[in-house]
Every structure is written in C-alpha cells, then in structure tokens.
Chains A and B, each alone.
Chain A
C-alpha cells in the first residue's frame, strides 16, 4: 500500500504578505482529503484558507455572454457563488452556447442552475441597438 499522506505547498492569498504554507494531508481511499497539519501561516485566516484550498478549492467564475442585438454585443457575467475549481472548464463549455437577447440589466440571471452549480448573473448592461451595428442608439 502506498503512503496516503502528502505535503502540499501553497502561497497564501488572504493578504499581501503571501505566506508560504505547508499542509500535511491524508488522502482517503475514496479520494476524500483530511487535513492533518497546517504550517507557515502567520494568522488563523491563512490557516483556514489553506485547509479549504486543499480540501475543496472554489472560485467565482467570470466570463462574458454574447448579446444578440446588444450594444455592446456582450455582457460580462459572474457566477452567483463559487464553484469547485476542478469543474471550471466543464462549466465554461456548458456556457459556450449561451446567447441572450438585448437588453440586459445588471443583476439579471442569464442562466440558472448551470450543471447544478451556480446561476450566471450579468454584471454589465447591454442596450438594444436601434437599427445598425455600431451606430449610436
């Protein structure tokens, strides 16, 4: 049997100090991860972050969605909650076909429950473009 213990080195991102943190962890047979020890963090927030980062790293995903007839022709969006880091590529592919109609308001939900992970919310507006592309409405 292989040793299931491993040491992960991280650079802390909680504050500008950027502590070099070492996390000793134990990998269960089902892939579950248990944190045994956190070293090198100057503060409790850093310790907490590091533990979470090795067990279940999550990120808010930011991208754009094309807007048909919109000025500008895209809106920026974010997920309304962080999603597991490992699933970001899959999440992005799931959004790739999404296109919405102008106008779009800030805060509008453009897709809900994507991969059962998060809703996608507009962070920028896009107006309906009168007649021709590029002309001011």
Chain B
C-alpha cells in the first residue's frame, strides 16, 4: 500500500491490532487526518496468529477467527482513508506541548518524526516469560511463550516440539494446548497455580477434555531441566497450598521436550513511561480518564496497552472510545477541566478502568474480579449502583455502564467510586 507519511496529522495511532485499527478507522470516519503505524508487515497485531474462532461475537455480531476479524477491520481502515505505515517501529513519542506531539518512527520506508495533535497508543502487550514466573533450572531450547509458540506454528509453520507441557490454564494456554494436540503432538498437561482453571469453561471442554489433556490445578512449574543436550528434557512441578506457597516434598518431574508459558500479558509501557504517563499498578497500563486520555494531555490509550482484555470486542470498543476522545480533544483544544471522580477497585476486585470519571457522560467501566463468585453482587459504591451477575470470574472482564448521573452522585460524596464484589 502506498501512503503519505510526511506532514502534520490530526491523529497518529501507534499499533495496528484490533484497538488501533478500530481507533484509526473511527477517527478517520469522523473526518480526521489519521496515520496508523505498526511494527508488523501486515495489519492485525496478534490476531493473524490467533487462528481459532471466538472473535467478534459482540463487536461484529458474528463469530470469526482472529485473521478473519483482522481482515474485516483492516478493510474498514482502508475504506476510511487511513494512511498506513507498516514495518515501522515507534521507539519514542516526544512531548512538544499539550497540543502537539512528535511521534518518532523508524522503518525501512520512512524514518523521522511525525507531528500530530493527538496520539492513540494501542501498542498491545507483551507476554510474561519464564523468568518472571520463577521457572528456574537450565537455559535450554524448547521454552516458549504461548504467543511465540503460536507464531512459530501458525505463521512460520514450525512445530516447536513433540511432548508439550503448558504452563497456565488461561484461554490462551488451553487454546495452544489444543493446537499442539491437533498437529499430533502429545500434550502432557496444562499446569495451573490457582485451584480453578484460568479460562472459560467452554475452553476447558473443547480444548482440554476433547483431547484428553490433563489439567493440573494448584501446581507450579519450578524448573526445567535439559542438561547437555540443550533441549528441555523434564519439567519440575510442585504443589502449592491455598496461599500459593510450595508444599515441601511434593516435587515431581514430567518428561517433555517443550514448555509453553502462558502466564498472562503485561501492557507495553516503555513509550508511555518515557513520556511521563502515570502507570496504574493494578492494570499495568496507564491511568486514564473516561475519554481514555492518559495523564499526558493528548495521548490516549486503548486495547491491551490500556488494560489486558480477554475479548477482542472490548479492545476494539476502547479503540473507538479513544478515537472519540481524541476528536473531542482536537475540537476543544483539550479535554475540558473538571473535578474528576476517582474509580478504584475495592473488595473482591483486582482492577478498574477508566480510573477517572467526569460525570459528564455515561461511561463503560471495565473491571476484573479477584476470584470466581457465583450469584455475585457488584456494587459501585459512591455512585449508588448495584448490579447482580450470575457468575463472575477473573478470566472474564466485567463491563458495566455507569450513567453520568450516577457518577455525579460521587461528586457530592467522597469524590470516589469503589467497585466491590460480594457473593450472593
């Protein structure tokens, strides 16, 4: 694709995954001059490697595979007249003023600084790797993160191994386990440190039970061994108690040649951190207001760079919200000043987004619970709102709409809304 790169933009979107594509398309559809920059050789972010179905049920009203979903959004991006710069890395965004940023780009085709009014940062996440989850032992081949294994297999056509142990039973871990099983590898187990599976029941059934893959709950992989040959030969497991502490004397060894680590994602924050954006320790992403603007004026965030989403639908939705935020920012010369209400997680809740609410508009609140609860009562204390939900789980983001009026209630109180979850 031939695109214009030079010249000042209204919006530069960093990242061409679902959030970035949705943001770019929406912004361009609102008449803004948009440049979308992505590192990949094609649009889609991690979607092209997620070849299983389950994408778009809410956002598009139909269930697609990852690549198909990407294709749909990519055509929308193109139709909207977004300029594309692919194979391009953004190492830095430079602050010039509240209303002007310089997005620094390195790419084979264009390298330099692109001036822009607003930035939408949708650079996605990275995977947690073995060293972060304390897998010690030998440094040998055959240890991959789930996304890396997926890319090897489903993009580059490389089979990473024959006997596979998966660490982490989130949806990604289970889906990767099934992919290996389908291609004829033996999946010796999926190991989960928590006492319950991390992902959806549907995946426990369709990915594990369908293929007789054992799920080992309340266990942790502590080491890989593979001296000499340079390849994983065994993994060492240990049982953990309710406090997730290793139970002495419960070490066992499993023979395998591959260990796939699916231990969750971390928002990629280098660029925003350098810009001085405040990072929320709970989400790992930037603190944002209900326009999804970070604490750096004119810089917005969406998708997994904002908060780790389990549904592509939410990531795309955040992209659109960020685009609307950016449009308002450009129209009014900044997001209007207000006495923000803080939204924070309380009892039973791990994280909440956005962290600052204006009370000037209805807002989608995303939150993740700390543990599974049936017949849950979700309270947004301070806003006087309560919602009943049949079941909530850490694996599934909860999304509720908070009305402007409800937020305003908190303005007279403690200037705070606290999300809490209780059993029924």
Within the complex, are A and B direct neighbours (CB within 8 Å)?
Answer: yes
| A59-B210 in contact given A13-B205, A16-B396, A92-B183 (Cβ < 8 Å) | yes
- Our pick among A64, A85, A136 for the contact of B51 (Cβ within 8 Å) is A64
CB-contacts of B125-160 with A (<8 A): 153-157
| Chain A residues, CB < 8 A from B65 | 62, 76, 78, 123
Q: Across the interface, name the chain A residue whose C-beta is closest to B153.
A: A64
Q: Is B200 an interface residue (CB 8 A)?
A: yes
**B53 contacts A76, C-beta separation under 8 Å:** no
CB-contacts of A6-22 with B (<8 A): 10-13, 16-18
Q: Across the interface, name the chain A residue whose C-beta is closest to B64.
A: A123
Q: Is A98 an interface residue (CB 8 A)?
A: no
Q: Is A40 an interface residue (CB 8 A)?
A: no
CB-contacts of B27-59 with A (<8 A): 41, 48, 51-53
| Chain B residues, CB < 8 A from A136 | 41, 87, 108
Q: Across the interface, name the chain A residue whose C-beta is closest to B47.
A: A124
CB-contacts of A33-87 with B (<8 A): 59-64, 66, 71-74, 76, 78, 85
Question: What 1/0 flags go to A91-105 for Cβ under 8 Å of B?
Answer: 010000000000000
Count of chain A residues near B, Cβ 8 A: 28
| Chain A residues, CB < 8 A from B204 | 11
Q: Is B201 an interface residue (CB 8 A)?
A: yes
Q: Across the interface, name the chain B residue whose C-beta is closest to A122.
A: B67
Q: Is B61 an interface residue (CB 8 A)?
A: no
Closest chain-B Cβ to A70's Cβ sits at a distance in Å of 9
- Our pick among A11, A60, A63, A74 for the contact of B205 (Cβ within 8 Å) is A11
A124 vs B393: C-alpha distance when bound (angstroms): 32
Closest chain-A Cβ to B276's Cβ sits at a distance in Å of 35
Q: Is B252 an interface residue (CB 8 A)?
A: no
Closest chain-B Cβ to A16's Cβ sits at a distance in Å of 6
| Chain A residues, CB < 8 A from B201 | 11-13, 16, 18
Q: Is B295 an interface residue (CB 8 A)?
A: no
**B41 contacts A106, C-beta separation under 8 Å:** no
Q: Across the interface, name the chain A residue whose C-beta is closest to B155.
A: A72
| Chain B residues, CB < 8 A from A72 | 48, 155-157
A59 vs B203: C-alpha distance when bound (angstroms): 13
**A76 contacts B154, C-beta separation under 8 Å:** yes
Interface of B is mostly: mixed
Q: Is A88 an interface residue (CB 8 A)?
A: yes
A72 vs B40: C-alpha distance when bound (angstroms): 12
Q: Is B111 an interface residue (CB 8 A)?
A: no
| Chain B residues, CB < 8 A from A13 | 200-202, 205-206
CB-contacts of A100-125 with B (<8 A): 106, 123-125
**A18 contacts B391, C-beta separation under 8 Å:** yes
A92 vs B206: C-alpha distance when bound (angstroms): 16
| Chain B residues, CB < 8 A from A74 | 154-157
Q: Across the interface, name the chain A residue whose C-beta is closest to B65.
A: A123
**A16 contacts B68, C-beta separation under 8 Å:** no
| A92-B391 in contact given A13-B205, A106-B67 (Cβ < 8 Å) | no
Q: Is B184 an interface residue (CB 8 A)?
A: yes
**B210 contacts A16, C-beta separation under 8 Å:** no
| Chain A residues, CB < 8 A from B52 | 62
Closest chain-B Cβ to A120's Cβ sits at a distance in Å of 13
Q: Is B414 an interface residue (CB 8 A)?
A: no
**A59 contacts B200, C-beta separation under 8 Å:** no
| Chain A residues, CB < 8 A from B155 | 72, 74
**B53 contacts A78, C-beta separation under 8 Å:** yes
**A66 contacts B157, C-beta separation under 8 Å:** yes
A106 vs B75: C-alpha distance when bound (angstroms): 13
Residue of A12, A13, A71 most packed against chain B (CB within 10 A): A13
**A106 contacts B68, C-beta separation under 8 Å:** yes
- Our pick among A10, A59, A85, A92 for the contact of B184 (Cβ within 8 Å) is A92
| Chain B residues, CB < 8 A from A17 | 390-391
Closest chain-A Cβ to B185's Cβ sits at a distance in Å of 11
A74 vs B152: C-alpha distance when bound (angstroms): 10
CB-contacts of B217-235 with A (<8 A): none
A123 vs B65: C-alpha distance when bound (angstroms): 7
| Chain A residues, CB < 8 A from B53 | 60, 62, 78
A73 vs B205: C-alpha distance when bound (angstroms): 31
Interface residues of A (CB under 8 A from B): 10-13, 16-18, 59-64, 66, 71-74, 76, 78, 85, 88, 92, 106, 123-125, 136
Interface residues of B (CB under 8 A from A): 41, 48, 51-53, 65-68, 71, 87, 108, 153-157, 182-184, 200-202, 204-206, 210, 390-391, 393, 396
Known interface pairs A13-B202, A17-B391, A78-B53; 8 further A-B residue pairs with C-beta atoms within 8 A, sorted by A's residue number: A11-B204, A13-B200, A59-B206, A60-B53, A62-B65, A72-B157, A73-B157, A74-B155
A-B contact pairs, 9 of them (CB 8 A): A13-B201, A13-B202, A17-B391, A62-B182, A66-B157, A72-B157, A74-B154, A106-B68, A124-B67
Report, nearest first, the 4 A-B pairs whose CB atoms are least far apart: A124-B67, A76-B51, A18-B201, A13-B202
